[in-house]
Chain A
């Protein structure tokens, strides 16, 4: 299929779009927040890159889904930069969360709407958010997610731990 795509076969391209469109669109929606109008534009851009840059893809070194997620992530980062959403890019500067008097974990038991959860995920720094989305929602393995984030599996686990810890705190704080 990839060989056919690289030879300029539109039918092969169409089949690949059918397979990968939904996960890539979902990833972009989660990264941008699904109310964002640009999600479909960015999805289209990912697949245009697939068509134009398919010769750069080496099936011996990566799998297509990883490569597409990488393209999508880079486009999301460009989008944040264009819109000057610097806080969404800061990888280490997770906003400090005010200390809650109540134990955060105990507050997790209370009811949270999907919007609350989405807002909490959106407030995470880009790398933590991406790590969580890739592993938890996109169903990718830790190795694939680490490849997309261009990091090691150990570093990915550290990002995931920080993401989950930040989420617990944020969800606890928003309930008080």
Chain B
């Protein structure tokens, strides 16, 4: 602690040591006690101390009238009580099975869209797997029969065109 620091403390916190930084208080008070009145620096500090004291007296006059704290507390707490008593989640109504199934497939929330997507993808994969695993159901004779049918249909179409001409 030196005179310069004491001057800073007086300028910032005033003359009342109650407001001074706790860790510097003892040293600052000790320095004040040892100050020599004849010393020029000490005279300046003493003057600053008195000016700071005058401002402190004025600041002490400024007392704020308290609000009606009991009323204010009731207002603050009841606002929170009211909010905390409201149910945070809407109770789920008693859905029947069809509703639950529809809800699962067509959800209201966009973040649940994976459900119908997953169901559609699963159906597609199952279809492909079933389709590829089935034995070929059309025999060679039937295949030939169909080809002949298509050929004959083609011929009849050509004959119609010729008759028009």
CB neighbours of A153 from chain B (8 A): 21
Cβ of B73 and Cβ of A21 under 8 Å apart?
Answer: yes
* Band of interface residues on A: 35 or more
Cβ of B54 and Cβ of A108 under 8 Å apart?
Answer: yes
CB neighbours of A114 from chain B (8 A): 61-63
* Band of interface residues on B: 20 to 34
Complex Cα–Cα for A157 and B67 (A):
30
Whole-angstrom distance between the Cβ of B134 and the nearest chain A Cβ: 59
Complex Cα–Cα for A158 and B11 (A):
9
CB neighbours of A135 from chain B (8 A): 13, 19
CB neighbours of A118 from chain B (8 A): 62
CB neighbours of B75 from chain A (8 A): 40, 44
Cβ of A13 and Cβ of B64 under 8 Å apart?
Answer: no
CB neighbours of B51 from chain A (8 A): 105, 108, 168
Contact digits for B13-53, partner A, Cβ 8 Å, 1 yes 0 no: 11000010110000000000000000000000000000110
Judge whether A30 is part of the interface by a CB distance below 8 angstroms. yes
Cβ of B79 and Cβ of A26 under 8 Å apart?
Answer: no
Nearest B residue to A26 via CB reads B64
Cβ of A44 and Cβ of B76 under 8 Å apart?
Answer: yes
Partner of A160, one of B12, B22, B62, B83: B12
Complex Cα–Cα for A20 and B83 (A):
21
Nearest A residue to B21 via CB reads A142
Judge whether A102 is part of the interface by a CB distance below 8 angstroms. no
Complex Cα–Cα for A7 and B65 (A):
35
Complex Cα–Cα for A17 and B78 (A):
12
Complex Cα–Cα for A40 and B66 (A):
11
Cβ of B67 and Cβ of A25 under 8 Å apart?
Answer: yes
CB neighbours of B64 from chain A (8 A): 26, 29-30, 34, 137
Cβ of B80 and Cβ of A25 under 8 Å apart?
Answer: no
Complex Cα–Cα for A160 and B13 (A):
7
Judge whether B1 is part of the interface by a CB distance below 8 angstroms. no
Complex Cα–Cα for A136 and B58 (A):
12
Whole-angstrom distance between the Cβ of A33 and the nearest chain B Cβ: 10
Judge whether B72 is part of the interface by a CB distance below 8 angstroms. yes
Question: With A108-B51, A164-B12 known to touch, is A44 a contact of B67 (CB < 8 Å)?
Answer: no
Complex Cα–Cα for A32 and B84 (A):
30
CB neighbours of A141 from chain B (8 A): 21-22
19 A-B contact pairs sorted by A residue (CB < 8 Å): A10-B84, A17-B76, A18-B73, A21-B69, A21-B76, A29-B64, A34-B65, A44-B72, A105-B54, A108-B54, A108-B55, A108-B58, A109-B54, A113-B61, A142-B21, A161-B11, A164-B55, A167-B55, A171-B55
Give 5 nearest A-B pairs by CB, closest first: A160-B12, A108-B54, A157-B12, A117-B62, A105-B51
Interface residues, chain B, CB within 8 Å of chain A?
8, 11-14, 19, 21-22, 51-52, 54-55, 58-59, 61-67, 69, 72-73, 75-77, 79-81, 83-84
